[in-house]
Structure 1
């Protein structure tokens, strides 16, 4: 089982990520894509990474706005898996024009 991160570790991780907020229970980021098809391409790329890592985010799609929530449910909060996935999401968003 993945080890939970403490408050200090989560704060440190958040300071290195783009647009993420949260605490030891979950980390979150909202992304606004340039249009709906771009938003779906972002989600598709995130799904590919999530499947490969066997760690899946909660994603809420509202037209071109995406809300990502990461938490390791089996551990009861934020773990390194969530931080790693957040880093991948940042890379994916940066690759897609209009993502912020």
Structure 2
């Protein structure tokens, strides 16, 4: 089930660092060491497997960019938002 425009705005306002790009939730995570970013990606992979929902991941040296959307639903769903919260928690543990 897709989030309405209002629900989406409310949810994104509660997601530290995340922003909307059309029908995609996006966040860039910055690390002071390359390997900390890689450890974070490992955590993201484990979370994604548990959710059975996988983000687009870009690694650019010390920056990891995540993009979330539910392609089957045609946009952002509550699952994307819950997963984004989990990624933020993993970031706090892997900084």
Quick check: TM above 0.5? yes
TM-score, structure 2 as length reference = 0.95
Count of matched residue positions in the alignment of Structure 1 and Structure 2:
95
Cα deviation for residue 6 of structure 1 reads 1.1
Cα deviation for residue 23 of structure 1 reads 5.5
Q: Please list every run of at least 4 consecutive aligned residues from structure 1 whose deviation after the TM superposition is greater than 3 angstroms.
A: none
Aligned to 1:9: 7
Aligned to 1:35: 33
Q: Contact between 1:29 and 1:68, CA under 8 Å: does it hold in 2?
A: yes
1:37 and 1:59 mapped to 2: Cα distance? Answer: 15
Say if 1:24 and 1:9 are closer, same or farther in 2 by CA, change over 3 A: farther
Q: Contact between 1:11 and 1:23, CA under 8 Å: does it hold in 2?
A: no
Structure 1: which 5+ residue stretches go unaligned? Answer: none
Match among 50, 67, 70 for residue 69 of structure 1: 67
SS in 2 for 1:40: helix
TM-score, structure 1 as length reference = 0.91
Residues 68-77 or 22-31, more deviating: 22-31
Q: Tell me how large the CA RMSD over aligned residues is.
A: 1.1
Partner deviation per Cα, 1:45-94 (whole Å, 9 max, x = no partner): 01001001100000110001011100001111000110011000000001
